Amino acid sequence: ELGLGRGSFTVYYSLMTASGAASIPLLGQVIQKKGVRLIAGISAAWVSLGFLAFSLAGSLWVFYAAGAWIGVFGTACVSLCASIIVQQSYSGSRASGVLGIVMAGSGVGGMLVSLFLPGLIQELGWRWSYRILAVCWLILGICAVVLLGNGSKRAVTRSDAPADGMTRSQALRSPKLYLLLTVSFILSAACGIQQQLPSVLSGHGFAPERVGVLMSFFTAALALGKIVQGLFYGKTGAVRGGIAVIGLFAASFALLLFPGLTWLGLPALAVGMGTVTTLMPLITRLTFGNREYAAIWGIVYSAANAGTLIAAPLFGLSYDLSGSYGGSMVASSALLVGSMALMHLCFREKR
């Protein structure tokens, strides 16, 4: 109806990601001062209005504007708030396990929406489907605000990070922040392959039906992989465990170069992609402590969104220029190995 093709969707996705990357550092500061509950309430109303705007869109530009609007308090904001709540509520190894379970919820939610949304669109049309999504988001947001209560402002106490820690201004003067920004950017940039994964599998000669099965397997592995990561970090520690998982992430690209190793590469890739929202919050807290964790994590998470924004179209461009994803996959693997070195450098000396 609006002439929204693949190229148009890429523009929409880029605008949504860019607005999220720009807003997250500010949201982190607000959460640091006012608590999560305020941002959760604003997000409930803000995103609901965005979905409503989608349903009323009469032109492509309105659709783009709604996407940019939603990005400000959308999925990136939800992940930001969720990680902060977990860090406020749990300590030690329990925080790792709970964070993995919570972050797996985004994958489960995406699977559920993908199951019922196509039928809803077929029965009611896409405009009414967006209106229903707006109501659902508002209801869930209100429930979140009620459940959060006043505890969302509680000070963070963790056994594996000093109670004092750094302020945001001190972190901005620390070289370690920029090392973690680079690691966060690389991890998220490597996740850009997800949009091209069906094409990668088709290029390996898998039939469309087989590609669908493999993508379903991959989606399930994304959710399960975050839970496994959280438990793993609780046993090994975030630094040693994180370096190992990033190594697995790098190896997944090498495995996916060979059709016969796809069954190994897909779950390895799924586990590695969970590092952005499962590993990096733990590493940020471990590095900078408790004092202004929310504000500092907002900066680090913004770099992750920037990585997604830049890398996602580059994977497609690489294929257009070379006729293969091999070059971009080898480059991703090399960058991930480099991020392992940066992680080691960050923790080589005591803070």
Digit-coded pLDDT (tens) for 248-258: 999 999 999 99
Q: What is the pLDDT of residue 3?
A: 54
C-alpha–C-alpha distance, residues 230 and 232, integer Å: 5
Which stretches within the chain are classed as H helix? 6-34, 36-56, 60-73, 75-89, 92-124, 126-148, 168-172, 175-190, 197-203, 208-236, 238-255, 262-273, 275-288, 293-322, 326-346
User: Looking at beta carbons, which pairs linking 172-178 to residues 24 or more positions away fall under 8 Å?
Assistant: 172/299, 174/288, 176/287, 176/288, 176/346, 176/351, 177/288, 177/296, 177/299, 177/300
3-state secondary structure of 300: helix
Q: In whole angstroms, what separates CA 287 from the centre of its chain?
A: 20
Q: What is the pLDDT of residue 127?
A: 86
Q: In whole angstroms, what separates CA 319 from the centre of its chain?
A: 24
Residues of 144-180 as b/e, b for ≥16 C-beta within 10 angstroms?
bbeebeeebbeebebeebeeebbbbeebeebebbebb
Residues in the chain with pLDDT < 70?
Answer: 1-10, 75-76, 114, 150-164, 349-351
Q: What is the pLDDT of residue 340?
A: 94
Residue with tokens 């880029």: 14
C-alpha–C-alpha distance, residues 164 and 116, integer Å: 47
| DSSP 8-state symbol, 111 | H
Q: What is the pLDDT of residue 208?
A: 85
Q: In whole angstroms, what separates CA 267 from the centre of its chain?
A: 17
Structure tokens at 114: 């993908």
Residues of 101-118 as b/e, b for ≥16 C-beta within 10 angstroms?
ebbbebbeeeeeeeeeee
Digit-coded pLDDT (tens) for 136-170: 889 988 888 888 775 544 433 334 444 568 999 99
C-alpha–C-alpha distance, residues 224 and 104, integer Å: 7
Q: Measuring CA to CA, which residue among 212, 343, 323, 340 is closest to residue 283? A: 343
Q: Measuring CA to CA, which residue among 262, 330, 277, 282 is closest to residue 307? A: 277
Q: Which residues contact 85 (CB under 8 A, 6 or more apart)?
A: 36, 102, 148, 152
Q: What is the pLDDT of residue 351?
A: 45
Q: What is the pLDDT of residue 253?
A: 96
Q: What is the pLDDT of residue 216?
A: 84
3-state secondary structure of 194: helix
Residue with tokens 């559920």: 112
Structure tokens at 62: 């309105």
Q: What is the pLDDT of residue 76?
A: 66
C-alpha–C-alpha distance, residues 61 and 297, integer Å: 32
The pTM of the full predicted model, rounded to 2 decimals, is: 0.83
